[in-house]
Amino acid sequence: MRTATDAGYLYLVSSLAKSELQEIRDAVDIELATFLTNQVHYLDSISSDLRPVSQALSSFVLDSGKRLRPLFAYSGFISAGADVSAQVISAIASLELLQACALIHDDLMDGSDTRRGKPSIHRHFESIHVQEELEGFAPAYGLAAAVLLGDLALVWSNQMLNSSGITQSQLGDVLPIHDEMRVELMAGQFLDIHEQTQKNTDLQRSMKIARYKSGKYTIERPLHIGAALSQKNSPSLMETLSAYGLPLGEAFQYRDDLLGVFGDPDLTGKPVGDDLREGKRTVLIALADARSTPEMRATSRQYFGDPQLSDAGVRILQEIILTSGAKDSLEVMIENLADESLSNLDSQDISQQGKDILTELAHIAIKRSI
């Protein structure tokens, strides 16, 4: 049983970890701003017509974001007992540009109108087409622009990593993991869109999508990248980071699934029920389908995946999910995965500073309000 002194100590550790994480966020933002300023100048030198491209992508990257992937990479680095440098911060900051690529393309594939409370990139360029009364078809212009901006973000991510100033030895250690992470991300994205074409839900398929689309990409691989940058990593450290990162990554995605159905739009930046309109076959939906009565399934299929689903239809589907017990069941899964993740921090492979930061990041990842 914890004493008041234990609680005070844990509060102090958490406060120090939060402060450290904010410092790294700020440092990542500075590196991103510097890199993007240089890229904007380069695009402007090609043509002034590219200004909307550079402005939109810079704004998308800099205006918001939790910087979770750079923070987990930083955690992997300090878990090995290494001392951080400006070059390492620049290298891990490049992960935010990869995330920008993923989000821009994800919004396009899902047909999402907004991201972080603002028009998604394809809708933004569609609006530019309409406002400036350009020739052609506005939605096609928006679609093409989003594909290209996502591709540009991917290129810039590689460019920022390669020009970060880390040594060739560090780069050689990181690149195989970086490549594997991108392959896993694309595999998860395809499995996600393929799942929406299936005639039935399947819990195991949905869980695999969560692991590859988010679990590995958001947490495990960034941890590995940070550890590789330290050049003090060992197979044992990598295994320990995976044992922490994979269950936490899945819990993170399951929390995201709940936010997609029950989230507050002011916090999520997306309209409530968007995942229901898009027909996303998440673990939450698979659980609800498995636990529903035939009548509940029939009602669900009447509404689920309707792009024009009204708020009333969203509430009907929310009630089915609640009544089935799927929401409560997923909350239990999140809690169990978080416990499994944190239990793996009790390892001599990880520095005490790393343990403190990883504990705080675990709380950030799974305690987002719905």
CATH classification at residue 329: 1.10.600.10
Coil vs helix vs strand at 263: coil
Q: What is the largest CA-CA distance in the chain?
A: 70
- Of 280, 255, 189, the C-alpha closest to 289 is 280
Coil vs helix vs strand at 114: strand
Q: 200 falls in which pLDDT band (50, 70, 90)?
A: confident
Q: How remote is the C-alpha of 7 from its chain's centroid? A: 31
Arithmetic mean of pLDDT over the chain? 92
pLDDT tens by residue, 41-50: 999 999 999 9
Q: What is the mean pLDDT of residues 185-211?
A: 91
Per-residue confidence (pLDDT) for residue 261, from 0 to 100: 93
Q: List the structure tokens of 97.
A: 């540009």
| Cα 314–Cα 317–Cα 323 angle in degrees, nearest 5 | 140
Per-residue confidence (pLDDT) for residue 13, from 0 to 100: 61
* DSSP summary character for residue 349: T
pTM for the complete prediction?
Answer: 0.91
Coil vs helix vs strand at 232: coil
CA distance linking residue 220 with residue 224, whole number of Å: 6
Coil vs helix vs strand at 113: coil
Per-residue confidence (pLDDT) for residue 9, from 0 to 100: 45
CA distance linking residue 240 with residue 87, whole number of Å: 25
Q: Give 73's contacts (C-beta < 8 A, 6+ positions apart).
A: 92, 95, 222, 223, 225, 226, 229
Query: Domain count of the chain?
Result: 1
Q: Which domain holds residue 223?
A: 4-366
Q: 334 falls in which pLDDT band (50, 70, 90)?
A: very high
pLDDT tens by residue, 160-197: 999 999 999 999 999 999 999 999 999 999 999 999 88
